[in-house]
Amino acid sequence: MSKVILVTGAGRGLGTDIAREALAAGHQVVATGRRPEEVEKTLGGPQDNLLVTKLDVTSLEDAEAAAQAAVDRFGRIDVLINNAGNLFTGYFEEISPAQMRQQFETNLFGPMNVTRAVLPILRKQRAGHIITITSTAGLVGMEFTSAYAASKFAEEGWMESLRHDVEPYNIHTTVVEPGYFRTELLVDGSTVWPELSVDDYAPRTAPRIEGMKSMNGRQPGDPARLARALLTIADQDKPLQRFVAGADAIEAARAKAMELLAQAEASRELGGALAYADAHA
């Protein structure tokens, strides 16, 4: 069945693949980006089933305008795919406070803005699906990614809670945790390097940056296949609430789950006896 799918960050990387695959599958696509003329060119020019509109996710006004444009053109929105994001790298002390805030503005408050604009439409319809792309870094903290992981962990918590808020209105949510996919996340413009320099970290910072740059174009994941998998989930009667995408991501998630269980058990003796004596379990 054809759906109206709104995709953020459709001008490059995974967002472009999602929009292309959705159009090829016969869906009506609202492709958004900060430079709509580039988005339209990337997707092959004007098409009957395509609406390209400007959207900087850090602007609630842009988000509201994009949502209204989608309804004006296609009459509804069935699926929102929160894809737009970027990557601020660096050791915590080398990431400036301004950079940390910028990371959260794009990766957390950005999808919140778009979801806030779209949710009234989905509630009125009593139907819809919100898919938010987070990352394996939303499950597992790693060296040199404290800002990115913090924003993605926050995004995970928001989406996990949002599910309960919107379930009564027949609105589904899916959080997607990709591993390493050959997108454009590691290119300049999507990746931002640390603004500050601390001598203690210097011997580790330069090799880390070079290592990340060398990884670009060598990631194992195929973004077109991921895009098709997301469309499969969007077509499910009971969509997956969490989609761990990629063999590497699945192994990382399993290892994190086992680590959490082990840490919970290790905390039992000390942490399990902290209630008031007259408290009832």
pLDDT digits (tens, 9 = 90+) for 102-115: 999 999 999 999 99
CA angle 28/241/34 to nearest 5° reads: 45
Distances (CA, A) of 192 to 140, 187, 277: 20, 9, 52
Q: Which helix or strand (DSSP H or E) is residue 263 part of?
A: helix 247-271
How many beta carbons lie within 10 A of that of residue 41, not counting itself?
12
Q: CB of 22 within 8 A of CB of 45?
A: no
Q: What does the mean pLDDT of the chain come to?
A: 93
Query: For 234-238, what is the mean pLDDT?
Result: 96
Give dist(CA 129, CA 124) in Å, integer. 13
The sign of the dihedral angle between the CA atoms of 156, 54, 80, 120 is: positive
CA atoms within 13 A on the CB side of 158: 23
Is the predicted pLDDT of residue 187 greater than 60, yes or no? no
Ordered by start, the domain boundaries in the chain are: 4-247
pLDDT in tens, 43-62: 999 999 999 999 999 999 99
Give pLDDT, residue 154: 98
Give pLDDT, residue 279: 81
CA-closest candidate to residue 139, choices 267, 264, 233, 249: 249
Query: For 134-145, what is the mean pLDDT?
Result: 94
Q: With bands split at pLDDT 50, 70 and 90, how would you rate the model's confidence at 221?
A: confident
Give pLDDT, residue 188: 57
pLDDT in tens, 199-217: 999 998 888 888 777 677 6
Is the predicted pLDDT of residue 190 greater than 70, yes or no? no
**What positions carry a catalytic annotation?**
148
180 compared with 97, residue with greater pLDDT: 97
Please state which of the ranges 83-97, 136-150, 206-220, 257-271 shows the lowest mean pLDDT: 206-220
Architecture of the domain whose range is 4-247: 3-Layer(aba) Sandwich (3.40)
Give pLDDT, residue 208: 82
Residues 6 or more apart in contact with residue 117 via CB below 8 angstroms = 60, 63, 64, 66, 67
Query: For 163-190, what is the mean pLDDT?
Result: 83
Give pLDDT, residue 185: 53
How many beta carbons lie within 10 A of that of residue 183, not counting itself?
21
